[in-house]
Structure 1
Amino acid sequence: MSKQERDSIMNLLVQVDTDDQRYRSALQSVQSQYGGNSPEMKSLIGKMNTADSINLIKVSAILDHYGWLGAKEIGNQGNVTLFMVIQHSRSEAQEKYLPMMRDAVKKGNANAGSLALLEDRVALHHGQRQRYGSQLMWDMRTNQYRLSPLEDPDNVDARRLAVGLPSLQEYLALFGLEWNLDEYKKTAAVNEAEFFKHNPM
């Protein structure tokens, strides 16, 4: 890859990153103020989905031509942006690039913690429980986030630690939630049935 190509990719990814976060930064406040099923929320999600589709076209062109570029080639932010666009894309793209990202992690060109997030999303899409507890769902009844179905909750923190993620308690605290293992187990069956009812494969 020439310096001109590298600079061009890095500049493109700066704009992609801006577009990726433009609408997401307002999601939580709009959900809290108007509700998850409000016209305001639907409008915001529509704009976000359009931006995601455009970003995926740009990032797919990079990945399909160069492979998963590491931070040494496109900088830390550029490398993170590749992941974020795939993480925010439709399931078909996530599944297409998941093997590429797994290989990139082995080569040191992608972050293991980021891969864990993508693994969780793909698992949930296939009707399986997530392994790392990275994915939350919006509860229309309580108007707040709730943890999506989780495999082997007793050992989730060990799995998170192994890929460099903070404890589940620390992570959930970012969303104003507490991690209570016993409470999770008590309500897991009901929560899972509700989740997979509203999120079929």
Structure 2
Amino acid sequence: MKIICAYLLPILFSFIFNAGASENCSSVPDELDQMATADQSLRYDGHNIGLKGPEERADWNLKVQTLNHVNGEKLKSILDRCGWPSEETLDGRSSSAAQLIAQHSDHDDQLQMRALAVIEGRVRNGTVDPKQFAHLSDRIQLRRTGKQIYGTQLLVSNEGITLPSTEIDDIDSVNKRRKALGMESVEAYIAQAKESQFGKVTR
């Protein structure tokens, strides 16, 4: 089964750069780790500490959007200097951190598509976890169409952590696509997110 969506085929691969081709790349793992930590810490605070009233919620949302923009610009700089980190060039955690930053850059369609193009190529040659493709692909599809393909984007609300049924075709189809990428079932994924007290890929 093809796991790469057809809309990726015309993407300009001129955006793909060879990792390590530029100097000053030794700091990339630390840079990405700091960016991802800041991203998740801010979201954790908002979902778990609790926000009192609409004004506090609006202030938190502004902080999230500001951080998304800052991290997005930093990621573009890293891609220009050093290319996309992968398990074979740096480490798996750096690649996952880069994907997370791209995923939360909903304000920058070009950056998200640039990242998805690189991840697609790395999935094809086996140097990036296919889950990264699923996460970012779902994020882009959700923003563009309101639908998900792999059911990776969970929603945190007063009802808890859920996957809205209106965003997928049906659970069986989603689970088949997830299995093709070596991912756990939607049911197991949601259970893990609930156990962690904070969904790993919540919005």
Give the TM-score taking structure 1 as reference length. 0.73
The aligned amino acid for 2:94 is G
Deviation at 1:163, TM superposition (A): 1.2
In structure 1, distance between residues paired with 2:193 and 2:75: 29
In structure 1, distance between residues paired with 2:22 and 2:76: 20
Deviation at 1:175, TM superposition (A): 4.7
Larger radius of gyration: 1
Aligned to 1:70: 86
Aligned to 1:5: 24
In structure 2, distance between residues paired with 1:65 and 1:3: 6
In structure 2, distance between residues paired with 1:163 and 1:82: 19
Structure 1 residues 1-201: aligned runs within 5 Å: 1=20, 5-30=24-49, 33-34=50-51, 38-90=54-106, 91-92=108-109, 93-139=111-157, 142-148=158-164, 149-176=167-194
In structure 1, distance between residues paired with 2:187 and 2:152: 11
Change (3 A) 1:34 1:22: closer
Indicate if the aligned counterparts of 1:157 and 1:168 stay in contact, CA closer than 8 A: yes
Instruction: Report the secondary structure of 1:70's partner residue.
Output: coil
Instruction: Report the secondary structure of 2:97's partner residue.
Output: helix
Unaligned runs of 5+ in 2: 1-19, 196-203
Instruction: Report the secondary structure of 1:132's partner residue.
Output: coil
**How high is the sequence identity, in percent, across the aligned residues?**
26
Unaligned runs of 5+ in 1: 178-201
In structure 2, distance between residues paired with 1:146 and 1:132: 14
Corresponding residue pairs, total: 172
The aligned amino acid for 1:107 is N
Give the TM-score taking structure 2 as reference length. 0.72
In structure 2, distance between residues paired with 1:116 and 1:34: 30
Indicate if the aligned counterparts of 1:68 and 1:104 stay in contact, CA closer than 8 A: no
In structure 2, distance between residues paired with 1:18 and 1:175: 18
In structure 2, distance between residues paired with 1:41 and 1:143: 17
Which one has a larger percent helix, Structure 1 or Structure 2? 1
Change (3 A) 1:138 1:10: closer
Greater length-normalized contact order (CA 8 Å, ≥ 6 residues apart):
2
